[in-house]
Amino acid sequence: MFGHESQPETFALCKADLYMVSVDGRDADNIKFGSTLSNWQLGVRRYDYQCANPPYGKEWKLDQAAVEAEAERGHAGRFGAGLPRISDGQLLFLQHMLSRMKDPQDGGGRVAIVMNGSPLFTGDAGSGESEIRRWILENDWLEAIIALPEQLFYNTGISTYVWVLSNRKEARRKNKVQLIDGSGFWTPMRKSLGNKRREIGDDQIKQVLGLYTAAEAGEHCRLFDSTEFGYRKITVERPLRLNFQVNAERLARLEQESGFQNLAISKKKEAKAKAAEEAEGRKQQAAVLKALGTLPNTVCKDRAKFMPLLDDALKRAGLKLGAPVRKAILAALSERDETAEICRDDDGQPEPDPELRDTENVSLTQDIHEYFDREVKPHVPDAWINTSVRDHKDGEVGKVGYEINFNRYFYRYQPQRALGDIEADIKTLEGEIMAMLRDITQ
């Protein structure tokens, strides 16, 4: 037996227990003190079986420098799949354990780790958490996840899950993941210990083990292909539609645009030169406003028609403006308008509107174009898929993500109560409240 512990009291208790139960104390000598993440002391040894219950939602800031340095080594280190957010290091422990499994040619290894719900779904496509789940599922290491009852632990009552992983899966489990809802398998304790009010008895353990061994779909068990937890996050664009108008409100808006204000801001250090440049900038600002005032104040719903009018007004005023100022003018004089013509780039292609940009998560089991035509196009006919957003690994359109929404697969519909029953309960409560008020006022 080998172990690692960073808490002094827990480390001391473990050593003491092993000295008492082992013949020569060898197992006790194999328990090391220090951080598993940044001060691993058991070398490159690989293991047949590993179990862990890492801290839930604990930040790994103290280990950050060592972890990031090892992550830079890629899969030659322990954290090559990705790094989770700094506030929760559970998936770092899982990566560490997977890196310590015996190679399949040496018999392989198995891992069991207890974690809370966060590692199941936290993190969007492309995030560290999603990439770690992707690495695990695409390597076909995840055998099963078992939902445990709440109130099992002394210092927390939250939901927890056992992940069972192996690099030597049975043939019947290849490319499959088993989900087991064991949240109802518990017995109450006679006396609570902190948050621990429940325990899993021998009979319940046998029931859960039976579900795992049988690996058959049923009320408490579901089987899925590994790819069913994956999705592509595609970016959906809609065209930019703007109207343009020169009026007092929009001209006042122009004066607040930074690109326009910068005309009268000098970067020169010498005071006289700075003042001269800023005075010239203010003159240019006034000339711009005057030139814009020569444009008709009617609403123009086509940028392709408005731009020549704007260019002509600026040319007649003898103004040559840089890109930031032109951008400020267009931003101030325009407003989004669903009835306006589509704004197009120099190649005639529709420009996307950043404010209308959206995303869709499409299961890896579906074609993204078929999904788009079926689920998106009927509602927004002018939308399109942004094909420039691609996955960094396979190069296909859309970023690949993985999540395991455990509750979704075991959701049981609960019909709403009849309105008559709810109304009767309300009237009963009203009567009780009135009786209490009468007792107080008497």
Q: 291 phi and psi, to 5 degrees? A: -65, -40
Secondary structure of the chain: what % helix, strand, coil (to 5)? 40, 20, 40
Q: Which residue has the higher pLDDT, 439 or 138?
A: 138
Query: What is the arithmetic mean of pLDDT over 397-412?
Result: 92
Residues 6+ apart with CB under 8 A from 41: 4, 32, 33, 34
Give mean pLDDT, residues 259-276. 91
Q: Measured between alpha carbons, how far is 200 from 195 in angstroms, rounded to an integer?
A: 15
Q: Which two tokens stand for residue 421?
A: 């029953």
Question: What is the Cα–Cα distance from 158 to 307, expressed in whole angstroms?
Answer: 60
Give the least confident one: 83-92, 172-181, 219-228, 266-275.
266-275
Contact present, 82 and 128 (Cβ < 8 Å): yes
Q: Are strands 187-193 and 176-181 parallel, antiparallel or unpaired?
A: unpaired
Residue with token string 């109450």: 188
| Whether the predicted pLDDT of 23 surpasses 80 | no
Is the per-residue pLDDT at 313 higher than 90?
Answer: yes
In this structure, are residues 235 and 385 in contact, taking their beta carbons and an 8 Å threshold? yes
- Residue 60's pLDDT is 96
The per-residue pLDDT for 22 is 79
List, for residues 356-383, the tens digit of each pLDDT value.
999 999 999 999 999 999 999 999 999 9
What would the mean pLDDT of 298-304 be, rounded to a whole number?
A: 96
| Residue 423 φ/ψ, nearest 5 degrees | -60, -40
Beta strands 187-193 and 399-402, pairing class = unpaired
Domains of the chain, each with CATH number or no CATH? 3-228 (3.40.50.150), 242-336 (no CATH)
CA distance 239 to 182: 49
User: Is the predicted pLDDT of residue 24 greater than 90, yes or no?
Assistant: no
Q: With both helix axes pointing from N to C terminus, report the angle between 271-292 and 323-333 in degrees, rounded to the nearest 10.
A: 40
